[in-house]
Structure 1
Amino acid sequence: MLRSGRRTSAALSPKARKAVLTAHVIASVAWIGLSVCLLVLGLTGLLHADPQVSRAAYIALGVVVTPGQPISGLALVSGIALSVGTKWGLLRHWWVVVSLVLTAVMTALVQLSLAPLMRGAAAKVLAAAPEVPVADAVGGDAVSIVVAPAVAITALSFVAAINVYKPWGRTSRSGPAHPAATRRGASPGSPATSRSRR
């Protein structure tokens, strides 16, 4: 639910903001956790000495990656809702712009690249004859399967960090700072204004 106020023309009500923020935090944490699981499975498939364990790890990739598509979409949509529906705005602060751009790019990569890659590897292993080595069945995708979640973990951790520290100040589209913040000498990312967001 949106409400009108002096600070923003359209802001989420406190209950709606908390609900959206909760969804955003859960989705973001789940996304990082899922990426860690994919990395562990990819490394297991690539490095484990037991072919049966490697085979099981690659097959599991096709299942584990499935929640990544809705989770990444929820993280992006809830992030946009928090930006538009709160005083931070969509284009007022550089940390918001960078955060949303990176999240959008990562979401697109999950949908168009990561999920097909993991499912493809699982399908190759399942279709391979028992005598075919797992490494041969997966082929050149073995390295990509490790690199992709490692990049995701790095990017998502960076997004989490800038959401905490809120660096780089305001954009040229932000307009003047809120008078109350100016009187207190607080910047948009200062503890005073950060508490108002929460």
Structure 2
Amino acid sequence: MILSPGLRKIALTAHVTSSIGWFGAVAAFLMLALFGMLSQDQELVRATYLAMRLTAWFVIVPFAALSLASGVVSSLSTKWGLFRHYWVLLKLVITSGATFLLLVHTQAIDLLAGIAAKTSVLGAYPSGMQLKMVVTSGATLVVLIMLTGLAIYKPRGMTP
């Protein structure tokens, strides 16, 4: 699939923008998760978990999906191809996996937000789940940095 240079640039712009947006939204989510876990202010904690649900569903999930889709379109419309170079294939596998895990992770986010909507008692939140929000969002940032590194350095090598 060969796109005109103008369309190829639009696809690349969509990919870079959505990938940066995904990173920034996860960084904001991490800060919310930290405040939700560490704060003793029950109203702040409630607001944090409600905001995390909105951030996940209306910012992070769309950016992840757009990053995945635009990455596929961009790779298919350039010399790199989707399966020709192992770094592109690796980015596809990692991005697909991260997007899938994000969708699984939204269940825990929805659970915390549901608790926040029904109660203002600080002890009502499962502490393991609060820690999970911090750890998974921090790990996601590391994964997104690795994906960025792959895109910038483009390690040599063709897939067999």
How many residues get paired?
A: 159
Alignment deviations for residues 74-105 of structure 1 (CA, whole Å, 9 cap, x no partner): 10011111111111011111110111110111
Structure 1's unaligned 5+ residue stretches are: 1-9, 173-198
Structure with bigger gyration radius: 1
Asked if the contact 2:30–2:133 (Cα under 8 Å) also holds between the matched residues in 1, the reply is: yes
The 5 Å alignment of 1:117-128 reads 117-128=108-119
Aligned ranges for residues 129-140 of structure 1 at < 5 Å?
130=120, 132=121, 134-140=122-128
CA contact (8 A) 2:23 2:141 kept: yes
Moved runs in structure 1, 4+ residues, more than 6 A?
none
Q: Which amino acid aligns with 2:151?
A: N
Q: 1:31, 1:72 within 8 Å by CA — same for their partners in 2?
A: yes
> Does the CA contact (< 8 Å) of 1:62 and 1:119 recur in 2?
yes
Are the counterparts in 2 of residues 11 and 87 from structure 1 also a CA contact under 8 Å?
no
Cα offset, 1:140, TM superposition: 2.6
C-alpha deviation, 1:59, in angstroms: 1.9
1:114 positional shift: 2.4
Q: Does 1:75 align with 2:63?
A: no
- Aligned equivalents of 2:116, 2:94: Cα separation in 1: 32
Q: 2:4 aligns with which of 8, 13, 16?
A: 13
TM-score, normalisation: structure 2: 0.92
CA RMSD, aligned part only? 1.4
* Runs (5+) with no aligned partner, structure 2: none
1:38 aligns to what? 29
Supply the distance in 1 between the matched residues of 2:20 and 2:106 (Cα, whole angstroms).
18
TM-score by length of 1: 0.75
